[in-house]
Amino acid sequence: MATGTTFDGSKMSRTEILSAWKSWQLRIFITIWITYGTFYLCRANISFALPGLSAEFGFSKTLLGLLGTALFIMYSLGQFINGQLGDKYGARKLVFVGMIVSALLNIIFSFSTAFTFMLIVWGLNGYFQSMGWSPQVKTMANWFTVKQRGKWMGLMGSCYQIGNAYSWLLASYLAANYGWRSLFWVPAIIFLISSAHFITRIRNAPEEIGLPPIEQLRKLLDAGADARAGADPDSAPVCKLVEDKHLGFGHTISTCVTNPRIWGISIAFFCLDIIRYGFFYWAPTYLIEAQGAKISSAGLTVAVLPLAGSAGAIVCGWVSEKYFNNRRAPVICICLFGLAVFSYLFYKAPPGAWLWGLICLAIIGFCTYGPHVLMVGHAAQDFAGRKAAASAAGFIDGFGYIGAAMTGVFTGWLVENYGWGAGFWYWIIAALVAAFTMLALWRVPVVEVEYD
C-alpha cells in the first residue's frame, strides 16, 4: 500500500485512505505549529533590545519606532508578494528559505553599530519573516476541511501566541544577563535548527504523497458518517489522484482584489494590527518607563498577552464553529469591542497595581489574538478557497502590517510629544473602527469552495 511516506491512493480502501490522511493531518499540524512559533524568536526579540539600543547609542523613541516600522513595511510588502508565491510554490520551499535568511540577518544585526545599517538589516528581516505565515495557511487549507478549520486553525493560531511568549521570556532573560546583542544570535541558532525540522517533515498537500485532494477526502469522510447512519458504505465516491495545480496568478490576484468580504477583513485587520503591535512593540517600554518595572519583570508581565492570546485563538475558533455555523465575524466583532474597553482600563491602572494590569493584559491578549487568527487564518481560507488561501492570507496580513508600520513610528512620535495617553487612545480608536467594520460582516455565511 505504501512505501515510506508515499501512498497509491488509487489502490487503497476508503478506510486506509482516511487513516493515512488523519495521521498526516496530525503530522502537518505539529510541524506547522512548531515552525511558525519559532518565527517569533527572530522577530519579537527586538522589543527587549530597545532599552539596550537606547542606552548604548542614545537613539530616540522615534528612531527606535522606525526600526519597527522598517520591519513592518517590508513584512507588509512581503505578504502581498509571498502570498502569491505561496500559492504557486507551496510552503516547503518558501518557508524554508525565509527561515534560513531571517536567522542569518538576526546574526548580522547583532554585530551592527550604525543605525542606517540596522534599519536596512531589520527591514530585510521583515521581508523574509513574511515568508512564514501565508504559505502555511494554504498548507492547512490543503489538509483540513472547512468544518475542521474552526478547531485546527484555532489550535494553529496558538503557536504564534506561545511562540511570542517564550520569545519574550528568552529575550528578557538574555537582555538582563548577556546584553542586547545576545537577543539576536541565540534565537537565530534555534531558528536554524527549526528550519531543518520543517523541511524534513512538511508536505504541501495530500496529492504530494499519493492521497486524493481535500475535496475528495471530505466526501470520503462524509460517506463514512452516512454509513454509520445506515447508508450503503459502497456508495462512497471513487477517489481519483490528481496533481495539486496552481490556478495562475490571474485567479489568485482577482480572488483577493474583487472580493468585498476580503476587503472588509483587510480593513479591520489593518486597524487590529495597529493596537496589536502597539502592545507587542511598546508594552515592555511602557511598563519600564511609566510603571517602574524592571526589564525581567516586564518580560514576565507582557508574556501574559500572547499566553492568554493562545487561549483566545483556540476558544474563538471553537465558538465560531459551535455556535455561529463557521461564521467568524460575530466572534471577531465581540472580541474587538472588548479589546477597546480593556485597553482603556489597562492604561488607567495606577503604578504598582500589578494584578489589575495583569488581568487587563490577559483579556487584551485574548481579545487580540482570538480575532487575529480568525481573520488572517480562517477567513482567508473560507472566503478565498484553498487554491488562493495563501494569496488571501498575504493580502489580509499585508494590510495588517501597514497598520503595524504606522504604530511603530507614529506611536513613538505620539508618546514622545504628547505622552503615553495619546498612544493608548490611538490604539483604542483603531480597535473600535475594526469592530464596527466586522459588524457589517456579521451575517455573511461560509460556503465550501469546490475544485475539480
pLDDT tens across 78-125, in order? Answer: 999 999 999 999 999 999 999 999 999 999 999 999 999 999 999 999
Residue 242 lies inside a defined structural domain of this protein: no
Q: What mean pLDDT do residues 280-297 have?
A: 80
Residue 452 domain-assigned (yes or no): no
Q: Which three cell numbers stand for residue 278?
A: 502597539
Asked, for residue 187, whether it belongs to a domain, the answer is: yes
pLDDT surpassing 80 at residue 451? no
The number of CA neighbours under 13 Å toward the Cβ of 412 is: 21
| Structural domain range at position 159 | 10-229+249-439
Please report whether residue 405 resides in a domain.
yes
* Domain assignment present for 234: no
Judged against a pLDDT cut of 70, whether residue 2 lies above it is answered with no
Residue 10: the pLDDT is 75
Mean pLDDT of 328-332: 96
Is the model's pLDDT at 285 over the cut of 90?
Answer: no
Total of domains in the chain: 1
**Domain assignment present for 64:** yes
Q: Give pLDDT, residue 240.
A: 60
Using CB atoms within 10 A of its CB, is residue 395 exposed (0-12), middle (13-18) or buried (19+)?
buried
Which of the four pLDDT bands, split at 50, 70 and 90, describes residue 231? very low
CB 134 within 8 A of CB 80: no
- What is the radius of gyration, based on Cα positions, of the chain? 22
Predicted local confidence at residue 141, as pLDDT: 93
- Quick one: what percent of the chain has pLDDT higher than 90? 62
CATH of the domain at 143: 1.20.1250.20
Would you say 190 and 44 are in contact if contact means Cβ atoms under 8 Å apart? no
Residue 235 has pLDDT above 50, yes or no: no
Q: What is the pLDDT of residues 206-219, one digit of tens each?
A: 999 999 999 889 88
Rounded to 10 degrees, what is the CA torsion of 423, 428, 434, 436?
-140
pLDDT at 282 over 50: yes
pLDDT tens digit sequence for 352-407: 788 888 899 999 999 999 999 999 998 899 899 888 999 999 999 999 989 988 88
Round the average pLDDT of the chain to a whole number and report it: 89
pLDDT value, residue 375? 95
Is residue 300 pLDDT above 50, yes or no?
Answer: yes
Percent of the residues in the chain that have a pLDDT greater than 70, as a whole number: 93
pLDDT beyond 60 at 447: yes
Query: Could you tell me which residue, 7 or 186, shows the higher pLDDT?
Result: 186
47 is a domain residue:
yes
Do residues 387 and 247 lie in contact, with contact meaning Cβ atoms separated by under 8 Å?
yes
The answer as to whether 238 is a domain residue is no
- At 312, is the pLDDT very low, low, confident or very high (cuts 50, 70, 90)? very high
Distance separating alpha carbons of residues 81 and 94, to the nearest angstrom: 11
Confidence of residue 229 (pLDDT cuts 50, 70, 90): very low
pLDDT at 422 exceeding the cut of 60: yes
4 Rama sector, left if φ>0, alpha if ψ -120 to 50, beta otherwise: left
pLDDT band at residue 241 under the 50/70/90 scheme = low
> Residue 405 has what pLDDT?
81
pLDDT score of 227: 52
Residue 348: which region, alpha, beta or left (left: phi > 0; alpha: psi -120 to 50)?
A: alpha
Q: What is the mean pLDDT of residues 258-282?
A: 93
With cut-offs at 50, 70 and 90, classify the pLDDT of residue 272.
Answer: very high
